[in-house]
Amino acid sequence: LITVTASNVNIDPFTFDGMGVANYGVIASGFAADGLVVDGNTFKGFNEAGIYVSNASGGTSLITGNTFEASSTRGVHVGGLSGTGTILNIVDNTMGSDGKLVQGVRVSNNVSCEAALNVTGTNTIDSTGDGIDFEGSVTGLASVNINGATVTSNGDAVAFRGAVTDADIKVDNSSL
């Protein structure tokens, strides 16, 4: 519904309804993810995810205080993060508020080259699949921090399916 094409965009508060037709509610690719803030929205009815951040390569993005209803397949889909100073913060969201999502957070590509993905605060994920799923590799001094999450899932609470080398992975203070 919204494709972000500029840096430093703030999206709040709206109710996004994909009505089972749209794939994503918010899409931010490359430098458009730099300074992105998605705060206090409700996402429902998307075929893929409420928010898609792909190939972010620089700057900090914040996804906070959002509600992702189970009528969508995923809460947040990350297509990859790369480069020093590239940080994606997913903080204090509710995913699967009216039932179970397939996945809360899906990382379908690599987190690499000193990029950071932080799933912190009081993220609550109710999932029929994996709660937080890393399909790509985590390499090249990249960091992943999962802190304070509550994940209820029929699959793995947190899954790393790709290579994990030269990376800083922390999963703590979470109920998995």
pLDDT of residue 100: 82
Q: How many angstroms separate the CA atoms of 133 and 108, rounded?
A: 8
pLDDT of residue 65: 98
Please provide the distance, in angstroms rounded to a whole number, between the alpha carbons at the two ends of the chain: 32
Q: Sign of the CA dihedral 105, 92, 87, 145? A: negative
Amino acid in the structure at residue 23: N
pLDDT of residue 81: 94
pLDDT of residue 69: 93
Give the number of residues written for the chain. Answer: 176
pLDDT of residue 52: 97
Buried b / exposed e across 16-35, counting CB within 10 Å, b at 16+?
bbbeeeeebbbbbbebbbbb
pLDDT of residue 58: 81
pLDDT of residue 57: 77
A 10 A CB-CB count for 122 gives 11
Positions of the chain with pLDDT lower than 50, given as ranges: none
* H or E segment and range at residue 151: strand 150-153
Give the tokens for residue 29. Answer: 């690719």
pLDDT of residue 98: 79
